[in-house]
Amino acid sequence: MADLTELPRRSIWYGWGDPAHVKPLPTGGWPLLKFLGRVEPAARDTPPVALEDVRLPEVHLSDAARAQLVAVVGDEHFSTARLDRVEHTGGKSYPDLYRLRTGDGSRAPDAVVFPGTSQQVCDLLAACVEHEVAVVPFGGGTSVVGGVDPVRGRFSAVISLDLRRLDAVVSVDSLSQTAVVQAGARGPAAEAVFQRHGLTLGHFPQSYQQATIGGYLVTRSAGQASSGYGRFEENVVSVTMATPTGELVLGGRAPANQSAAGPKLLDVVIGSEGLLGVVTEATVQLARRPQIEHRETWALRDTATGFAAFRDLAQQLGHGIMPDVSRLSDHNETTTVMAQAGLPGMAGMGLVRARGWREPALAVFQIEDGDRASLRFRRKKLASVLKRHGAVKLTDSIAEHWMAGRFRGPYQRDHLMDRGVLVETVETATTWDNLEHLYESVQSAIVETMGRGWVQCHVSHLDGGGASLYYTFMASAESDPIAQWQRVKTAAGDAMIGAGGTITHHHAVGTDHRPWIGEEIGDGGIRILRAIKAELDPTGVLNPGKLIPDEGA
């Protein structure tokens, strides 16, 4: 069983997690990248600047505003210290990290507050309204779409409201398999409590070790095992949210999807990205912790064959029988995953190449279950579908290797950035009939705008209707890497929308996807969001610059 309760230290300001965990590429990694012909590491490392060399703007908070914020949380939980401001300057996208590594702290908030109760959150919001200070809710700070950027908007100052002190698992109900959790609890800390009750949230996104319950909720996060446990939003029973116009409590009179008392208003708050209020607490639906985690590795002739096989898995096996995690790598990702898996990966590639498959696609699965008989049944069903598509079984250790490293991806990015490599991920989703078209459109857009570089993709989060596509791309950083990043990001986003996909499957909107939100949800959608925002946050202090386009935009 994977250790899902490991709680590393919070992310270092210029990278991911505990820098002691940053691992160089495995032997052969750099030669492979070069061999693939695409990514040239810099001749020498370009480490981040020292903390004291990050250029920070002056603090703009008025004395009156500062005094009132301090009055709410106490002196020790109000900070304008350099490290606190730098740590809240942004999320963890490539541009976020690049700016800080090169000493650009111009986006830092004026101050950071650390409330200890939901009442304090309410009082902080009231103070921000009174003193016209923008306020950015901050959980794990793992946004890769600018979701926690301290944008001032029309206000003269902006503070970051960090929820880390609201980190309790308030209660667990073993009968209903639910838990009340404060918003600032990080995934592994909450999961440790759930597991002591024989339960699990089953929500394990790549950001899992750093991100928080509140962050999962306001971004509509999807974990790697979403086929088994559902997206985070499907498991929200109730939410408590502080707003500038009072505290809201929604849901809680029935299980997550068991009421018809008007529209499901929980879904107004879920995905609201801190623009409507600050989620302080949620009741979440848990499930029995599985006794068994079984992994399998398969290869398919090519990516298109993999698409067809995955569609059949989702539509023929259905929820509860299909694997909890299913992931199909396109040929490029197959190459890197196999290389990272070492000898078993090389052996696997040899095996499939021997069949004459020139561009094989790797599929890894995890089945979680409570008993052996059930596992056997589900494995048999899985194999029967895959074999109909000519799939070949490889050693399970490749899937094991992938699963063992599944929270390590962001660490590897830090190493690549040290060597002057631009690396980023983008993701989308669509229906099965449109999957291949969307896959090729986004792939082409990235390749064409990135120039020399490497792009790989996988399919995951299957259901009967469709699946998501997740791309990773890398290139040697140019002289202006942020312009380079923006060029590719814009092309990818345009391609997603142009080819009928969603602008984001689980990364949310933030600042970075805001240019496409109008095309995604239409004028009607924008009007609905604005109407709710005007009701709950009439002065607009909450998280300016994200999600909802400015009037007239």
- Which residue among 122, 180, 193, 269 contacts its own copies (CB under 8 A)? 269
Q: What is the dihedral of CA 386, 234, 429, 202, to 10 degrees?
A: -50
- Closest to its own copies by CB, 38 vs 506, is 506
277 is in an annotated binding site: yes
The yes or no reply on residue 498 touching its own copies (CB under 8 A) is: no
Please, are residues 147 and 91 in contact by the beta-carbon 8 Å criterion? yes
- Which residue among 106, 119, 171, 257 contacts its own copies (CB under 8 A)? 257
- Closest to its own copies by CB, 37 vs 318, is 318
413 is in an annotated binding site: yes
- Closest to its own copies by CB, 106 vs 171, is 171
The yes or no reply on residue 271 touching its own copies (CB under 8 A) is: yes
The yes or no reply on residue 291 touching its own copies (CB under 8 A) is: no
Size of the site for its own copies (CB under 8 A): 100
Burial class (CB in 10 A: 0-12, 13-18, 19+), 522: exposed
For the chain, the first-to-last Cα distance in angstroms comes to 50
Question: What is the rounded distance in angstroms from the CA atom of residue 268 to the CA atom of residue 250?
Answer: 10
- Which residue among 70, 287, 392, 482 contacts its own copies (CB under 8 A)? 287
- Which residue among 10, 197, 288, 408 contacts its own copies (CB under 8 A)? 288
The yes or no reply on residue 72 touching its own copies (CB under 8 A) is: no
- Closest to its own copies by CB, 478 vs 520, is 520
Please, are residues 194 and 218 in contact by the beta-carbon 8 Å criterion? no
Burial class (CB in 10 A: 0-12, 13-18, 19+), 287: middle
Interacting stretch for its own copies, rule CB under 8 A, among 97-105, 127-135, 318-326, 336-344? 318-326
Q: Which two tokens stand for residue 230?
A: 């559902």
Q: What is the smallest separation between the CB atom of 518 and its own copies, expressed in angstroms?
A: 11
Residue tagged active-site, from 94, 98, 229, 470? 470
194 is in an annotated binding site: no
The yes or no reply on residue 171 touching its own copies (CB under 8 A) is: no
Q: How far is CA 68 from the centre of its chain?
A: 34
DSSP string, 395-418: -HHHHHHHHHTTTTHHHHHHHHHH
Interacting stretch for its own copies, rule CB under 8 A, among 11-19, 29-37, 333-341, 517-525? 517-525
Please, are residues 246 and 119 in contact by the beta-carbon 8 Å criterion? no
Please, are residues 282 and 309 in contact by the beta-carbon 8 Å criterion? no
The yes or no reply on residue 431 touching its own copies (CB under 8 A) is: yes
Q: What is the smallest separation between the CB atom of 426 and its own copies, expressed in angstroms?
A: 13
Sheet strands side by side (includes 111-113): 78-79, 111-113, 157-162, 133-138
Alpha-carbon distances of 456 from 92, 95, 159, 335, rounded to whole Å: 20, 20, 38, 9
The yes or no reply on residue 466 touching its own copies (CB under 8 A) is: yes
* Binding residues among 528-547 for its own copies as defined by CB under 8 A: 528-532, 534-536, 547
Q: What is the smallest separation between the CB atom of 441 and its own copies, expressed in angstroms?
A: 14
* Binding residues among 91-120 for its own copies as defined by CB under 8 A: none
x/- binding map, residues 375-414, to its own copies, per CB under 8 A? --x---x---------------------------------
Q: Where are the beta strands (DSSP E) in 42-156?
A: 78-79, 111-113, 133-138
3-state secondary structure of 544: coil
138 is in an annotated binding site: yes
The yes or no reply on residue 372 touching its own copies (CB under 8 A) is: no
271: alpha, beta or left? (left if phi > 0; alpha if psi -120 to 50):
left
Nearest C-alpha neighbor of 285 from the set 373, 174, 138, 438: 174
Q: Which two tokens stand for residue 472?
A: 């990773």
The yes or no reply on residue 515 touching its own copies (CB under 8 A) is: no
- Which residue among 126, 515, 520, 539 contacts its own copies (CB under 8 A)? 520
- Closest to its own copies by CB, 363 vs 467, is 467
137 is in an annotated binding site: yes
The yes or no reply on residue 320 touching its own copies (CB under 8 A) is: yes
The yes or no reply on residue 31 touching its own copies (CB under 8 A) is: no
* Binding residues among 193-222 for its own copies as defined by CB under 8 A: 219-222
- Closest to its own copies by CB, 66 vs 220, is 220
3-state secondary structure of 279: strand
The yes or no reply on residue 248 touching its own copies (CB under 8 A) is: yes
Q: Would residue 470 show up in a list of annotated catalytic residues for this protein?
A: yes
The yes or no reply on residue 432 touching its own copies (CB under 8 A) is: yes
Interacting stretch for its own copies, rule CB under 8 A, among 54-62, 343-351, 481-489, 518-526? 518-526
504 is in an annotated binding site: no
The yes or no reply on residue 464 touching its own copies (CB under 8 A) is: yes
3-state secondary structure of 44: coil
Please, are residues 496 and 438 in contact by the beta-carbon 8 Å criterion? yes
Alpha-carbon distances of 380 from 32, 452, 462, rounded to whole Å: 36, 43, 19
348 is in an annotated binding site: no
DSSP string, 75-91: GGGEE--HHHHHHTS--
What residues are labeled active site?
470
* Residues flagged as binding site for FAD: 137-143, 273-279
* Residues flagged as binding site: 137-143, 273-279, 413
